[in-house]
Copies of this chain bind each other. A is one copy, B any other.
C-alpha cells in the first residue's frame, strides 16, 4: 500500500511533552515504556497479538516533514531548538515485541520501547493504535473461527469497517486469527490474503429475472458458481433456479456447482431445506454459504440447531468486533536510566488494577515437556533467567499463598527485539506463516482457556525478584 506519512498521527501531548523534555535537559534520558493490556475483550481467555509488521513500517518511516514542522511552528508553543531537533530526528530506540500470532494475556508487556525519553514517549499513540486495532480483530476473528468448528470463515466487513485502514488491516488481522479469506480486494493485492466474492442482489435485479441472472453468471464463470439465492424467495425461487442453472449451464460445461449463499431469513431452517433440495438434485457437493450479521454466538447456536452450513461470511460483527470494539492496551513508563543504572518506576492508582508493573522486563512462557501445553507465563526482570533444569515455583502476585511448583518444563522468552538503536533487526514472517504459527500456538492452550464464556484464567505471574521490587516501590511511592 502507498506509504502515508503518519508521523503526526500522535496525541498532541506527546509533542508538548517532547518540547518540555528538551527544554529541561531530559532529551537523552533513557526511558523504558511497556505496552500491555488489562482485560481480554468479550471476557475471553486470551488475545492474539497482531500489528507488529505495521508498527515496524511506522517506526521505519518516522520523520518530520517540512510541512509538519511549519505546522508546529505555527502553534507558537515550541522553541526553535525543538523544531531543529525534529528536523534532524532519527529514531534511535530499542524495541521488543511479542511476535504476531502469539496468544497474549493481561498485564504482560507485549511491546517494550527503550530509548531517549522524547522518542520513546513520542511513539505511544501509534504503538497503541496499531497493536490495539489488529489484536482486537485477530482475537475476534479467532473466536468466530473457533465457533465455526472447522468450517471456513470469510471476512466480509469492509463496508461497515471504521475507516479504510479498519477494512484493510482488519482483513489482515482476521486472516491471522484464522479466517480463510476476505472480500476486501486490496487485502489480496497487498497482503496475498485469498479474496472471494461472487454477486450482490443487484446482479439478480439487473436481469429480467433470477433465472436469467444466474444463467448469465454461469456463462461467464461456469467454474465459480456460488449463487445468491435470497433476492426473492430462497426455497421457492432461489434454490430451484440455482439447481436448474447448475444442470443447464454448469454440469454440461464439465464443472460442478460451487455453492449457494443465503444472506437473510432463518439460516438454520433455510439451510436444512436447501441442503435437502441440493442433495436430491444430485449436488451433495454444492456448498452452502451463510452470511447476515453473524458472530461467534449465532454461529454456535445455529450449528447446535443443525444448520447445514459449510462456510460463513462474517461482516460487521467481525470487522468492528461489534460486541466489544475496544482493545484497551496502554503504554506506561516502567524505568529510567541514571548513570547507567536502570531505576524502576511505578504508577499508582486509586484503582488497584491500574497499578503498573515496574522495571525493564521479559515474559517467559513455560510449556509442559510431555504435552507441549502452556502452563503459565512468568514476567521477570529482563536479565533474570529461568532454569529449566530445576523445579520452578510460580505464585499468584495477588494471593501469594497460591503457589505451584513446575517441573518437566521448558521456557521460552516471548519478547523479541525488533529494533536495535533505531535499526530494524527483525524480518516479519510471511502472513501465511503468522497465521499458521497462530494456529499452532493456540493449540498449546488448554481447552479451559479457549472457552467462550467464563474461561479459566491463564496464570500470569511475577518472578520473585520482580514481585519484591514492586512491593518495595509501592511502599516508597504510596502517599501517607
Q: Which residues of A contact B (CB under 8 A)?
A: 1-6, 8-17, 19-21, 23-24, 26, 29, 31, 33, 67-68, 71, 77, 117, 121, 124-125, 128-129, 132-133, 136-137, 156, 158-170, 183-186, 188-189, 195-203, 205-206, 216-217, 219-221, 224, 230-234, 236-237, 264-265, 316-317, 320-322, 325-329, 331-333, 336, 345, 347-351, 354, 477, 479
Contact = CB atoms under 8 A, between A and B. Distances in A.
By CB atoms of chain B within 10 A, which of A159, A224, A336, A345 has the most? A159
A166 B167 contact: no
Contact of A11 (B11, B197, B206, B233): B197
Contact of A129 (B164, B325, B328): B164
B12 A196 contact: yes
Nearest to A2: B4
A218 to B, nearest CB: 10
B347 A4 contact: no
A206 B325 contact: no
A251 to B, nearest CB: 20
Contact of A332 (B5, B184, B201): B201
B205 A347 contact: yes
By CB atoms of chain B within 10 A, which of A9, A230, A320 has the most? A9
A162 B162 contact: yes
A224 to B, nearest CB: 7
Shortest beta-carbon contacts, A-B, top 10: A163-B165, A13-B197, A12-B197, A325-B325, A128-B159, A162-B162, A202-B333, A8-B186, A163-B166, A233-B479
Given A11-B183, A170-B163, A325 B322 contact: yes
A184 B11 CA distance: 5
A158 B219 CA distance: 48
